[in-house]
């Protein structure tokens, strides 16, 4: 088993964001459920600590588990699935992710509607061997951006008799004005904070393998109409998609600079975005049809994210 990170990092959101640290040894394979079903050639040693926001916590998939209840962690989130595949349980697995978390909540306490989550970095120590962090989407206000763009898309559709101008992006004009791009500036600020966090993670857990996990694809790769559940002007579909890609690129770059790994969940999820069919999507639209929070991964999405983490871990060995 390798004891140092093989960081292959090349260029991710609720709404939330993701980082992952893992220590493993394993073989590959597929099962009838369509996920990796990867078997490990030797037991993986923990402890494994999961840090992150709602895309890590996965609110709405199951009843909340862990404390505080206000973090809305699901027992079916990707850290729990990864831990199960690695055979980690009890003291060897700790999930301190919390819905609504920003980068500042990794180093400071986060107050929720039902309890206070301690600074997430307190959960890791020199004995930690596996860490996942998913963070960044809330720093740029991505969830509120989507809701605002959907509201404007609905109005735009009504006033335009349902006929969009392909290039029009009424919501984008609220964030971008000439050379001024408010979202791009927030992504840069989040990147600076992430760099400091990764430095601190390395100081506290020098033997841990660390992987930054990107956000899965929320919207289609073209400016297609997403339907009534996600009413967006085609130009705003492009705008939101590009901002998510810029966020993921920042995560990839900062991970590379810090010498840690990166997990690409965007590529495998492109055909499972919120505008695809109910029985294939990984991300629910603004009005969920599968158990999940609005514009967040459902159980299928968390399984897909876990598989992306596991594949990356295998390739690093």
Q: Which residues are part of the catalytic machinery?
A: 54, 296
Helical axes 234-258 vs 142-159, angle rounded to 10° = 170
Per DSSP, the three-state class of 81 is helix
Contact at 8 Å (CB) between 59 and 171? no
Number of neighbours of residue 277 by Cβ within 10 angstroms = 8
As a dihedral over the C-alpha atoms of residue 234, residue 235, residue 240, residue 241, rounded to 10 degrees, the angle is 70
**How far apart (Å, rounded) are the C-alpha atoms in residues 103 and 121?**
11
SS3 content of the chain, % helix, strand, coil (to 5): 40, 10, 50
Chain centroid offset of residue 261 CA: 15
**Cα torsion angle, 173, 175, 180, 181, sign:** negative
Give residues with Cβ within 8 angstroms of 278, minimum separation 6.
289, 290
Query: Strand pairing partners for 261?
Result: 211
**How far apart (Å, rounded) are the C-alpha atoms in residues 38 and 130?**
17
Tell me the C-alpha to C-alpha distance, in Å, between residue 26 and each of 86, 248, 263, 314. Answer: 9, 27, 17, 6
**How far apart (Å, rounded) are the C-alpha atoms in residues 9 and 69?**
34
Q: What is the largest CA-CA distance in the chain?
A: 61
């Amino acid at each position: 088993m390798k004891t140092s990170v093989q960081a292959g990092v090349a260029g991710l959101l609720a709404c939330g964001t993701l980082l992952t640290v893992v220590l493993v040894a394993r073989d590959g394979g597929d099962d009838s459920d369509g996920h990796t079903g990867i078997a490990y050639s030797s037991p993986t040693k923990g402890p494994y600590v999961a840090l992150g926001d709602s895309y890590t916590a996965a609110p709405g998939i199951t009843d909340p588990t862990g404390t505080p209840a206000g973090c809305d962690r699901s027992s079916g989130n990707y850290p729990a699935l990864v831990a199960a595949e690695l055979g980690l349980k009890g003291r060897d697995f700790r999930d301190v992710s919390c819905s609504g978390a920003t980068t500042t909540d990794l180093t400071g306490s986060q107050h929720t509607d039902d309890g206070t989550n301690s600074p997430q970095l307190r959960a890791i120590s020199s004995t930690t061997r596996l860490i996942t962090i998913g963070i960044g989407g809330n720093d740029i206000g991505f969830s509120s951006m989507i809701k605002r763009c959907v509201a404007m898309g609905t109005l735009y559709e009504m006033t335009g008799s349902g006929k969009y101008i392909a290039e029009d992006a009424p919501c984008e004009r609220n964030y971008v004005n000439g050379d001024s791009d408010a979202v791009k500036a927030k992504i840069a600020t989040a990147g600076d904070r992430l760099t400091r966090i990764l430095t601190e993670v390395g100081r506290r857990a020098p033997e841990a393998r660390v992987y930054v996990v990107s956000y899965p694809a929320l919207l289609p790769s073209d400016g297609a109409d997403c339907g009534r559940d996600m009413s967006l002007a085609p130009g705003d579909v492009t705008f939101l998609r590009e901002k998510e890609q810029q966020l993921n690129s920042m995560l990839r770059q900062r991970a590379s600079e810090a010498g840690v790994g990166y997990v690409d969940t965007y590529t495998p999820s492109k055909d499972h975005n919120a505008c695809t069919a109910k029985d294939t999507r990984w991300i629910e639209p603004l009005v969920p049809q599968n158990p999940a929070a609005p514009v967040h991964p459902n159980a299928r999405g968390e399984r897909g994210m876990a598989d992306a983490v596991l594949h990356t871990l295998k390739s690093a060995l």
